[in-house]
Amino acid sequence: MSLEIKVPPVGESITEVTLSAWKKKDGDHVEMDEVVAELESDKATFELTAEKAGTLKLTAAEGDTLAIGAIVATIEDGGAATLAAAAEKAPAAPVAAKDEPAKAVSPEVPANGYAPAPDQSGGGSLEIKVPTVGESITEVTLSRWMKKDGDQVEMDEAIAELESDKATFELTAEKAGTLKTIAKEGDTLAIGAVVCTIEGGASAPSPAHVTPAVADAVNESPQNAPSKGSTYASGTPSPAAAKILAEKGIETSSVNGTGVDGRITKGDALNAQNAPAAAPAPAAKSAAVSAAAAPSIPQGPRSDRREKMSSLRKTVAKRLVAVKNETAMLTTFNEVDMQPIMELRGKYKDKFKEKHGVGLGFMSFFTKAVTEALKEWPAVGARIDGEEVIYSNFADISIAVSAPKGLVVPVIRNAERMSLAEIEKAIVVLAGKARESKLTIEEMTGGTFTITNGGVFGSMLSTPIINSPQSAILGMHNIIERPIAINGQVVIRPMMYLALSYDHRIIDGRESVSFLVRVKQLLEDPARLLLGV
């Protein structure tokens, strides 16, 4: 008895995930609760485990986008022992004579040169319709035909690629026969609409049309020799891989598939390269002299590389565009003299680390200054919900972190109650999880205010975009020594520009400017943070 392994629910707002990696191979024996795959959503990466022991049968391929509840694999009863027993009972393959070269056998033309009689089972016409792919999906687009009208298809062979607003999936033949296409590429089809029909059973050329000589010629061609264990999946790209190859202009026949049964995966497509052009013939001596007189143009490989956007990147893109379109965003600037904080850090950083086990960074000072300023100007930490404004008596500070898979924003809860050491420890834990893609949904949701530090990458000035549904974000930048006037004297000080982007719908100019000035005052006189003045 088999058990279907499906994509589990991973969050209220998540409707699909990407199968980023298989941890086990097709046919492997797995134990209960053993990790079999890695799934990636737009917010986090998590592992898929086996729900019972048995033999794993893969259904989805790496790079596939899967809806919640979609079948990823099945687990069959039995395991390695059962497979070994079956192998012992299987008849041994015939061995060629020592002096007789082995010949590859074409799946369409047998070695004897005569094709089998057409399969009459399942005769008649069968309509292939658009299947149900999700509760909220009512129509799909026929993005491309993988087989042509009149082609012979096998049962379960992929014949077309359908695309919804959430995922791309393959349409397979429900029986063997001759394909008769009805819909065209680019057509929008409702769920249940007829896409094509499959007529009769398997058709094959008659013996009169295939002579033994022709069969031998076909069989001896290395291009027609299928690999060991070859199936219709061999050399067939996944939907994601097919798009990448089409964009690169690379034929699927030139790509070696490393997926299940030789299937071409997304990784194979990304690594595929066009065949290098043949080297030009050497020019005549006179032409070489002429070319030497012409300006030298540097030669080298010129190519473009296309990658499908990850779920995380697509979600970030949608949210940032939505913020620009739905908020009245404005940015105000100021600058802060960082010398007092730098002197304080230089004096106590060693003792601080010895006592608390973490370094004393700039982010804890900025977080603490923001929480104090939010107490005086609560509108900066408010948010709009319909026709109401929500004010919070706590400060959950979101810290923007650049992770390997994109920007994530983990939240430090109740930062207004924390000391500098507690804030530094929280930042270390969250940043570590972000780098390892182990942040949970709860650790990235909520937040009343965001701090982002573009200065670590060398940014001097920027206008950060609000992290919706919050209403403001503070941008830190790099520290540059600049001449400034203090008490009528020009001195060199380490200066940083600060940028506060805010939603002008609920935050007025007076509040935004006063908030930023308060942050500046607290940073330039760190004793205020300790005394609360």
Contact 60, 28 (CB under 8 A): no
* 294 burial level (CB within 10 Å; 0-12, 13-18, 19+): exposed
472 bridge partner residues: 502
Give DSSP secondary structure letters for 376-420.
H-GGGG-EEETTEEE--SS--EEE-EEETTEEE--EETTGGG--H
How many alpha carbons fall within 13 Å on the CB side of residue 13?
10
Contact 366, 400 (CB under 8 A): no
The CA distance from 196 to 173, in Å, is: 10
Predicted pLDDT of residue 258: 77
pLDDT tens-digit profile of 360-398? 999 999 999 999 999 999 999 999 998 899 999 999 999
- The encoded tokens of residue 327 equal 């908020």
pLDDT tens-digit profile of 11-37? 666 778 888 888 998 889 988 888 888
- The encoded tokens of residue 399 equal 């810290």
pLDDT tens-digit profile of 430-453? 988 888 888 888 888 889 999 999
pLDDT at 228 over 60: no
The letter for the amino acid at 499 is A
First to last CA, the chain: 71
Q: Mind telling me the catalytic residues?
A: 504, 508
3-state class percentages of the chain: helix first, strand second, coil last, to nearest 5: 30, 25, 45
Torsion sign over Cα 145, 149, 154, 155:
positive
More confident residue, 403 or 31: 31
Chain-centroid distance, C-alpha 503: 31
pLDDT at 87 over 50: no
The CA distance from 289 to 292, in Å, is: 5
H-only helix segments in 327-359: 339-356
Grade residue 114 by pLDDT with cuts at 50, 70 and 90: very low
% of the chain residues with pLDDT over 90: 35
- The encoded tokens of residue 412 equal 């430090």
Query: Which of 49-53, 100-104, 305-309, 333-337 shows the lowest mean pLDDT across its residues?
Result: 100-104
pLDDT at 136 over 50: yes
The full set of domains in the chain, from first to last, is 3-82 (2.40.50.100), 227-271 (4.10.320.10), 311-531 (3.30.559.10)
Highest mean pLDDT: which of 33-37, 171-175, 257-261, 421-425?
421-425
pLDDT at 101 over 50: no
Predicted pLDDT of residue 242: 77
